Structure 1
Amino acid sequence: MNQPLVLVTGATGFVGEAVVFKLLIDRVFTPLASVRSQSRLSGLCKTLYWDMNSSDIGFSLEGIHAIVHCAARVHVMDETAADALAEFRKINVISTLNLARNAARSGVRRFIYISSIKVNGESTHPGHPFTPVLNSVPQDPYGLSKFEAEQGLRKISIDTGMELVIIRPPLVYGPGVKANFLSMMNWLDREVPLPFGAIHNQRSLVFIENLVDLIVTCISHPSAKGHVLMVSDGADISTSQLLGLMSRALGKKSRLIPIPVALLKLAGFLTKRRDLTQRLCSSLQVDISETCSLLGWTPPITRELAFRRSALHFKDNRKA
């Protein structure tokens, strides 16, 4: 019996590639990898080239059971585009909805959209984590583009009957992570003194294997359709705790200096790094109780094991 086909877009990215590897290991579904460039997945599964700037997908969606849409123009700390919202909309809204319309016409049963916690906002107040219910429209260009894509996908789902699942991850980390999380691990590995010892916020993170486990669960779980699902490791952590635990996982001494948060925020303002300071000092929590109860799901990897796996990969691949 042939395994149902699942198309994974953005398969050269951190999340998309991990989804493809999980599908290859589980052997319940046959993955098709949509890529924008040469990929190490070549030879492991069928790869399809997709230029998201083009209105033509370039390949048929006939016979595909489900799509996991990870491809996106991602949020960056130092945006250089003159009209950032327009650039985000080209990829995250227009291309996404074009793919979904083609999918519905081709008989794709389920469309799983990897959105972002930025649809909810930038921070939370203590004891008030984000839920699937939105209290306001996001102002950040990236978050707004993801919100508009969610709205468009809902309409397509209603009009066509194609099942829709939306997942809003917070910061994703794990072996092979890039950007700020990798920079943090480099600082800790060099035992650089860091002024973050007095930050007592609470932030939700999600280990890549936990996120991928939820994504793959949603491919066939009957209760997932039509829902917005929040995801995290299920155990929130402060910036100071994060740095201390990761230092220990790396086998390094933690060198955290307890600088008052007010001074850190002032420094961020003066150095035009307000966004980074916001992430380090503020809280951002998500409530995954509805996801867990709806799907009978719990994050399979504990935070301690997640940190150990992340640190081991970093040490095995760091530059001398």
Structure 2
Amino acid sequence: MTKIMLTGANGFVGSALKAELVSGSGIHLVTAVRRGRKSPDCVAVGNIDGGTDFSEALAGVDVVIHAAARAHIMRDEVDDPLAEYRKVNVEGTLNLARQAVSAGVRRFVFLSSIKVNGEATAPGNPFHADDVPSPEDAYGISKLEAEQGLILLAAETDMEMVIIRSPLVYGPGVKGNFASMIKLIERGVPLPLGAIYNKRSLVGIGNLVDLIIRCINYPAAANQVFLAGDGEDISTTELLRGVGRAMGKPARLIPVPAGLLQLGATLLGRKAMAQRLLGSLQVDISKTCELLDWKPPYTVEEGLRRCFERSN
């Protein structure tokens, strides 16, 4: 039986992963949470940073899956965002990894972000797992620094490292911009996004969880960086229409030229939002599929439908 310690079990990805691991066979799951009722399978460790003590949660563990992080914040109001991200995403991660080595953990699976690669791609020129990283914001920089520390630690010890970078993750209970988009379509709000021809890679929560589980024991995953994705790239217009079909409500889209929208966003100081809606960000998951003998179990259409099937 494989004993796994999971951090971030109360988060969006962590909670979905926990549900699958608990229901699986041959796995003993222990969760490390910030606070909560202590039990043999749940250990409260407090806030995650460079001083967190994980020793109790790591006892007898074979594999650590580190999903906890200071998440990306669109309008961070702290004086030094990078310093805050580093406390959790770099110092907290490497502190856990060093303790995992001391505890005899054989594999450390780290959930990173496509922001390590960068913020945008030219259409038809996707990011690859082995590209030179080019993060542009504090969150992406912190994730890259954590990755670099883990790679060095793996080179110096017997613990294997697996890094998974994901683009936007969607699924039942998703929050943030994706949830806002769902609400707008549900309310029938007309959106000026009916003529956007960009290409975006996404990953449904079902596909991401399946990939993480694949990396727990698969030999070829050791000391590799993988990109996650659904294997389908769609435009913002196609995504909005797909969400509408999945919820049984047509998306009311007005075909406004992307150039005009870009100009308006620039004048209003919303260039970052425009990039997410109008720009392209594609990932090539061929390395992931070939090296792991894996393919996404759900299409984008199925993933979107699952968002609403589970909530009804």
Looking at structure 2, the residues matched to 299 and 199 of structure 1 have their Cα atoms a distance apart, in angstroms, of 26
Give the equivalent residue in structure 2 for 1:55. 51
Looking at structure 2, the residues matched to 118 and 215 of structure 1 have their Cα atoms a distance apart, in angstroms, of 18
Amino acid at match of 2:244: S
Give the equivalent residue in structure 2 for 1:151. 148
Between the two proteins, the alignment pairs up a number of residues equal to 310
Q: Secondary structure at the match of 1:108?
A: coil
User: Are the counterparts in 2 of residues 67 and 111 from structure 1 also a CA contact under 8 Å?
Assistant: yes
Give the equivalent residue in structure 1 for 2:23. 25
User: Are the counterparts in 2 of residues 210 and 301 from structure 1 also a CA contact under 8 Å?
Assistant: yes
User: Are the counterparts in 1 of residues 55 and 103 from structure 2 also a CA contact under 8 Å?
Assistant: no
Amino acid at match of 1:36: R
Looking at structure 2, the residues matched to 252 and 38 of structure 1 have their Cα atoms a distance apart, in angstroms, of 40
Amino acid at match of 2:10: T
Q: CA deviation at 1:58?
A: 4.7
Aligned to 1:7, which of 5, 13, 21? 5
Give the equivalent residue in structure 2 for 1:35. 33
Structure 2 gaps, min length 5: none
Looking at structure 2, the residues matched to 37 and 266 of structure 1 have their Cα atoms a distance apart, in angstroms, of 46
Q: Secondary structure at the match of 1:161?
A: coil
Equivalent residues in 2 for 1:1-320 (5 A)? 3-38=1-36, 46-50=41-45, 51-53=47-49, 55-60=51-56, 61-314=58-311, 316=312
Amino acid at match of 2:49: N
Q: CA deviation at 1:53?
A: 3.5
Looking at structure 2, the residues matched to 205 and 199 of structure 1 have their Cα atoms a distance apart, in angstroms, of 16
Over the residues paired in the alignment, what is the CA RMSD in angstroms?
Answer: 1.6
Looking at structure 1, the residues matched to 271 and 255 of structure 2 have their Cα atoms a distance apart, in angstroms, of 19
User: Are the counterparts in 2 of residues 201 and 238 from structure 1 also a CA contact under 8 Å?
Assistant: yes
Looking at structure 2, the residues matched to 193 and 237 of structure 1 have their Cα atoms a distance apart, in angstroms, of 20
Q: CA deviation at 1:247?
A: 0.6
Looking at structure 1, the residues matched to 135 and 28 of structure 2 have their Cα atoms a distance apart, in angstroms, of 36
Looking at structure 2, the residues matched to 38 and 193 of structure 1 have their Cα atoms a distance apart, in angstroms, of 43
Looking at structure 2, the residues matched to 233 and 136 of structure 1 have their Cα atoms a distance apart, in angstroms, of 21
Q: Structure 1 length as normaliser, TM-score? A: 0.93
User: Are the counterparts in 1 of residues 49 and 93 from structure 2 also a CA contact under 8 Å?
Assistant: no
Q: Structure 2 length as normaliser, TM-score? A: 0.95
* CA offsets 1:29-74 (integer angstroms, 9 cap, x no match): 11111222449xx88x821112213603254223100000000001
The structure-2 alpha-carbon separation of the partners of 1:57 and 1:282, relative to structure 1 and needing over 3 Å to count, comes to same
User: Are the counterparts in 2 of residues 5 and 30 from structure 1 also a CA contact under 8 Å?
Assistant: yes
Amino acid at match of 1:22: E
Q: CA deviation at 1:151?
A: 0.3
Q: CA deviation at 1:136?
A: 4.4
Looking at structure 2, the residues matched to 180 and 47 of structure 1 have their Cα atoms a distance apart, in angstroms, of 31
User: Are the counterparts in 1 of residues 171 and 307 from structure 2 also a CA contact under 8 Å?
Assistant: yes
User: Are the counterparts in 2 of residues 32 and 46 from structure 1 also a CA contact under 8 Å?
Assistant: yes
Looking at structure 2, the residues matched to 23 and 101 of structure 1 have their Cα atoms a distance apart, in angstroms, of 24
User: Are the counterparts in 2 of residues 196 and 240 from structure 1 also a CA contact under 8 Å?
Assistant: yes
Looking at structure 2, the residues matched to 118 and 178 of structure 1 have their Cα atoms a distance apart, in angstroms, of 18
Amino acid at match of 2:289: C
User: Are the counterparts in 2 of residues 48 and 59 from structure 1 also a CA contact under 8 Å?
Assistant: no
Q: Secondary structure at the match of 2:62?
A: strand
* CA offsets 1:100-153 (integer angstroms, 9 cap, x no match): 000001100000000000000001112211001233431211000000000000
User: Are the counterparts in 2 of residues 6 and 29 from structure 1 also a CA contact under 8 Å?
Assistant: yes
